[in-house]
Chains A and B, each alone.
Chain A
Amino acid sequence: GQQVMQIPQYQHVQEGEDFTTYCNSSTTLSNIQWYKQRPGGHPVFLIQLVKSGEVKKQKRLTFQFGEAKKNSSLHITATQTTDVGTYFCAGPPRVGGADGLTFGKGTHLIIQP
């Protein structure tokens, strides 16, 4: 079945440093989604990428979808303490279905002030 892998599992940064997490799927994805989960909270949708090579920005966050639609990345510029949490990528197992999402294990971002 479809597998989604994320690296690194944990990332410690000093406040103000940049952060990047990488996501790779074993199969081509129709779209990829990113979610953020704060400590003790639930996943919250951040963004969806659909097109090959797509790049989207949300303030300090930059999301990329690979040309082959099998990998993606999330880059945060100048991290702040509010960025703490776990970032998950997720993709649907098939196009247009409502079968749920396959999630990566997430990257835990820890920020030291």
Chain B
Amino acid sequence: DGGITQSPKYLFRKEGQNVTLSCEQNLNHDAMYWYRQDPGQGLRLIYYSQIVNDFQKGDIAEGYSVSREKKESFPLTVTSAQKNPTAFYLCASNEGTSGSTDTQYFGPGTRLTVL
């Protein structure tokens, strides 16, 4: 059963704490992405990775960090430096530059609430 999984679905954290969001895919995709969605808004790109052990900042990378040690996994850490972390976080993947399409496949998302 192929796809993208994100955990947890809901996450609560206290202000000042770092938190890591999980994203795993078994689609054998090279490229993975993290987006942030705020209520009533579109998706904004945080970080992306086109290959293992390499990643690039997106449009709103400040206050976030990522790693890509395995092809299947692309965890996102929301640090205490992120001023407005409460949002819906979506992970996505696609074939990357080796594929013929930019179509992205999204995970179910994690709703992060900072208390």
B47 to chain A, nearest CB (A): 9
Q: Which of B18-26, B36-44, B69-77 contacts A (4 or more CB under 8 A)?
A: B36-44
Residue tally, chain A, CB below 8 Å to B? 27
Distance between Cα atoms of A104 and B40 in the complex (Å): 11
Distance between Cα atoms of A97 and B101 in the complex (Å): 9
Which of B41, B50, B90, B95 contacts A43, CB < 8 Å? B90
Q: Tell whether, in the assembled complex, residue A100 and residue B97 are in contact, meaning their CB atoms are under 8 Å apart.
A: no
Residues of the B chain whose Cβ atoms lie less than 8 Å from the Cβ of A90: 43
* 8 A Cβ contacts from A70-113 to B: 88, 90, 92, 96-106, 108
Distance between Cα atoms of A1 and B58 in the complex (Å): 12
B33 to chain A, nearest CB (A): 5
Residues of the A chain whose Cβ atoms lie less than 8 Å from the Cβ of B58: 100
* 8 A Cβ contacts from A1-47 to B: 1, 4, 6, 9, 31, 33, 41-45
* 8 A Cβ contacts from B62-100 to A: 90, 94-97
- Where the two chains meet, the residues of B that have a C-beta atom closer than 8 Å to any C-beta of A are 30-31, 33, 35, 40-45, 48, 50, 56, 58-59, 90, 94-97, 101-109
